[in-house]
């Protein structure tokens, strides 16, 4: 039943992404070069820096990435269809892409993907690709249970170190100790949607413990991100909460 609900949600999101107007990207300076942050839809984004392009959890088909550079790296967090979408992987140009994924995702990648281009990271492992250091961070539901939507060790959140900046992508998680204990996070992308991850109150408490310089709520379908911003602002105005539309209208 869980997988059916997620699959149905994916179909709706993919249809919307293929017809929606993409929002404008954000830009950050890192060592006199530009990091471009392009939200696509839900958990999907594109990060570009110094001529290298990272697709995060690509979904939405080729249309969702129209006009964007082909990926040099494809980063996937989990096996659910709103993160791992074989149809989108087949539709975009992956000829020169390296996949960075947990083992559960590697096991489900299309057979057409050359395994030589797949780097498997378990929780806690690190890999450096094209000048970016990737660290796999646990992502899971609380309390831990064998039948949870996300069990510990199956999926990965990630910290990307680009020069002197640390970027955290939470994946599907709750307010777990491994997130709270991260240090020196400059930009964080933090999920919040029930019943799969956490609500805005949990997310706000986790972010206040994490203390990133900037946080983007993402993967927030059905949640009130304005309440999230209010909770964070009230407790720590030093954290910049950036609200962007990850669900653009058709």
Q: How do the pLDDT tens digits run along the chain, 250 residues long?
A: 444 444 444 444 544 444 468 999 999 999 999 999 999 999 999 999 999 999 999 999 999 999 999 999 999 999 999 999 999 999 999 999 999 999 999 999 999 999 999 999 999 999 999 999 999 999 999 999 999 999 999 999 999 999 999 999 999 999 999 999 999 999 999 999 999 999 999 999 999 999 999 999 999 999 999 999 999 999 999 999 999 999 987 6
Measured at the CA of 8, the angle between CA 139 and CA 199, to 5 degrees, comes to 40
Domains of the chain, residue spans: 2-241
Strand ordering across the sheet containing 118-120: 26-30, 33-41, 44-49, 52-56, 73-75, 98-101, 118-120
pLDDT value of position 18: 45
Contact (CB, 8 A) for 244 and 39: yes
- Closest C-alpha among 12, 19, 49, 42 to residue 165: 49
Q: Please give the CATH architecture assigned to the domain spanning 2-241.
A: 4-Layer Sandwich (3.60)
Contact (CB, 8 A) for 28 and 38: no
pLDDT value of position 171: 97
Q: What is the mean pLDDT of the chain?
A: 93
Contact (CB, 8 A) for 223 and 250: no
What is the distance between the alpha carbons of residues 245 and 250, in angstroms, rounded to a whole number?
A: 12
């Amino acid at each position: 039943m869980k997988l059916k609900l997620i699959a149905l949600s994916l179909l709706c999101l993919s249809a919307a992404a293929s017809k929606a107007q993409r929002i404008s990207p954000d830009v950050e300076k890192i060592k006199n070069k530009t990091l471009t942050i392009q939200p696509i839809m839900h958990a999907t984004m594109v990060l570009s820096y110094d001529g290298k392009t990272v697709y995060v959890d690509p979904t939405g088909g080729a249309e969702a990435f129209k006009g964007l550079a082909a990926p040099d790296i494809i980063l996937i967090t989990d096996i659910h269809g709103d993160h791992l979408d074989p149809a989108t992987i087949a539709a975009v140009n992956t000829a020169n892409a390296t996949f960075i994924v947990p083992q559960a995702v590697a096991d489900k990648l299309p057979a057409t993907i050359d395994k030589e281009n797949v780097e498997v990271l378990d929780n806690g492992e690190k890999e450096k690709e094209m000048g970016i250091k990737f660290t796999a961070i646990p992502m899971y539901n609380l309390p831990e249970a064998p039948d949870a939507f996300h069990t510990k060790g199956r999926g990965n959140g990630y910290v990307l170190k680009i020069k002197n900046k640390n970027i955290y992508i939470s994946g599907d998680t709750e307010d777990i100790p491994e997130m709270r204990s991260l240090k020196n996070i400059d930009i964080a992308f933090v999920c919040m949607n029930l019943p799969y991850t956490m609500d805005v109150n949990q997310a706000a408490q986790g972010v206040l413990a994490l203390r990133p310089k900037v946080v983007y709520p993402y993967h927030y379908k059905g949640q009130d991100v304005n309440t999230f911003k209010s909770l964070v602002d009230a407790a720590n105005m030093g954290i910049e909460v950036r609200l962007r539309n990850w669900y653009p209208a058709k």
